[in-house]
């Protein structure tokens, strides 16, 4: 087949989060434009669009949590909040013309390969309600039904790329009497109950209260950080129990506990270890304001530093490289063979740092 008659392949990308945006940027950089990004939510941003819980922010330095090809000199903090990170990814998509390739409120159902046409036949559900117009958790708990979903459509693409996040679906404790408002918040598959039933954390088997006595049912509000209502939740004078102390648990507990009328109980399986604050090689870059946050190592970046970063891309790259070196060195603490090194660090920093870092 000659080049003049060769047809350009078509590409379907599932998910408009960080991975989908990066892939779109790479395709456009090589001059390829025959692709569509399907996203179940109302905008790009992925996890930074979905997660709006109190205290949500980047848990690694933002100058490292950004693309080397699209550095951001305007980060206002070393570990900025969710709103700032979301704005960064949406600006990338907007400035590079990715929005014209996106189809929002469209969920992936399944795909089958067709040998005769060398393409995937993809089934999609259009008109899904996942974002701001989806029912919040409280209304779900009160028995509200989800809005009607859209129709199934089929399309063909030569290449299919999954950019679905690894933590796209909320997990709730399987506990007698505890309802699961996210029972139907699961992958849209041909036979989801049969497929998910193979896993111990299957959402399809949770929240079944049919055999639970009325007095044993939990009647309060059940929330998951990744489905925190975007209009907020009033926890004033409430008792709150939080299961888990992963990244979201560590962030949300200090925030909701700031209200002295809110009683917060944290239930954890095992202790969570936090790395001590990094060496302040760039202390003069940080603003000396009365800024407060949940962790001492989160520092505002001064206007002067941001000005220097905007004026000197080389300086910005040097700073980013130093952050990279620090993070790489920190990994030396994780291998079991380096327990001797971890013991030294714990003796030097743990007694003082951990008592001051998170308050």
Please tell me the predicted confidence (pLDDT) of residue 298: 77
Please tell me the predicted confidence (pLDDT) of residue 209: 52
The residue count for the chain: 359
Q: Which residues pair with 340 in a beta bridge?
A: none
Residue 353 parent element (H or E): helix 339-357
Q: Which residues of the chain have pLDDT under 70?
A: 1-6, 130-149, 184-211, 275-297, 349-359
Please tell me the predicted confidence (pLDDT) of residue 222: 87
Is residue 341 included in any domain, yes or no? yes
Residue 10 near residue 157 (C-beta atoms within 8 A): yes
Alpha-carbon span 254 to 247, nearest angstrom: 12
The dihedrals phi and psi of 153, each to the nearest 5 degrees, come to -125, 155
Please tell me the predicted confidence (pLDDT) of residue 6: 65
Is residue 328 included in any domain, yes or no? yes
Please tell me the predicted confidence (pLDDT) of residue 355: 43
CB burial readout 244-255, b (16+ within 10 A) else e: bbeebbbbbbbb
- Domain containing residue 343: 283-357
pTM of the model: 0.81
What is the SS3 string spanning 11-71?
EEEECCCHHHHHHHHHHHHCCCCCEEEECCCCCCCCHHHHCCCCCCECCCCCCCCCCCCCC
Alpha-carbon span 156 to 43, nearest angstrom: 23
Alpha-carbon span 172 to 218, nearest angstrom: 14
Of residues 46, 278, 21, 332, the one with CA closest to residue 168: 46
Q: Exposed, middle or buried by CB within 10 Å (0-12, 13-18, 19+), for 40?
A: buried
Residue 311 parent element (H or E): helix 303-311
Is residue 147 included in any domain, yes or no? no
Residue 227 near residue 185 (C-beta atoms within 8 A): yes
What total of structural domains would you count in the chain? 1
Please tell me the predicted confidence (pLDDT) of residue 70: 95
Please tell me the predicted confidence (pLDDT) of residue 66: 93
Q: Exposed, middle or buried by CB within 10 Å (0-12, 13-18, 19+), for 119?
A: buried
Please tell me the predicted confidence (pLDDT) of residue 171: 78
Residue 119 parent element (H or E): strand 119-126
Of residues 277, 276, 267, the one with CA closest to residue 350: 276
| E-only strand ranges, 135-256 | 152-157, 159-162, 239-243
Is residue 144 included in any domain, yes or no? no
Alpha-carbon span 75 to 68, nearest angstrom: 14
Q: Which residues contact 211 (CB under 8 A, 6 or more apart)?
A: none
For 156, which DSSP code?
E
């Amino acid at each position: 087949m000659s080049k003049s008659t060769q047809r350009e392949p078509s590409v379907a990308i599932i998910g408009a989060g960080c991975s989908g945006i990066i892939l779109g940027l790479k395709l456009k950089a090589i001059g390829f434009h025959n692709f569509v990004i399907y996203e179940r939510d109302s905008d790009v941003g992925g996890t930074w669009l979905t997660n709006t819980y109190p205290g949500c922010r980047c848990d690694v330095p933002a100058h490292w949590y950004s693309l080397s090809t699209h550095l951001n000199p305007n980060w206002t903090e070393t570990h900025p909040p969710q709103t700032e990170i979301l704005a960064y990814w949406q600006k990338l998509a907007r400035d590079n013309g990715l929005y014209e390739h996106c189809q929002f409120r469209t969920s992936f159902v399944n795909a089958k390969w067709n040998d005769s046409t060398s393409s995937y036949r993809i089934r999609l559900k259009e008109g899904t309600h996942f974002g701001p117009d989806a029912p919040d958790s409280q209304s779900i708990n009160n028995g509200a039904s989800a809005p009607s979903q859209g129709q199934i459509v089929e399309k063909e693409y030569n290449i299919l790329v999954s950019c679905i996040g690894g933590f796209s679906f909320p997990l709730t404790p399987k506990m007698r009497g505890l309802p699961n408002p996210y029972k139907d918040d699961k992958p849209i598959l041909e036979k989801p109950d049969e497929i998910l039933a193979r896993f111990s954390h299957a959402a399809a088997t949770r929240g079944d209260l049919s055999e639970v006595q009325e007095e044993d049912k939990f009647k309060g509000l059940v929330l998951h950080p990744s489905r925190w209502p975007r209009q907020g939740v009033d926890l004033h004078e409430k008792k709150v129990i939080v299961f888990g102390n992963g990244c979201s648990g560590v962030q949300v507990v200090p925030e909701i506990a700031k209200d002295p009328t809110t009683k917060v109980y944290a239930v954890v399986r095992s202790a969570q270890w936090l790395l001590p604050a990094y060496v302040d090689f760039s202390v003069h870059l940080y603003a000396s304001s009365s800024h407060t946050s949940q962790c001492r190592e989160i520092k505002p970046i001064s206007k002067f530093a941001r000005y220097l970063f905007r004026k000197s891309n080389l300086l910005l790259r040097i700073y980013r490289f130093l952050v990279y070196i620090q993070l790489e060195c920190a990994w030396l603490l994780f291998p079991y063979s380096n327990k001797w090194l971890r013991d030294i660090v714990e003796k030097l920093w743990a007694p003082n740092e951990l008592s001051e870092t998170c308050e």
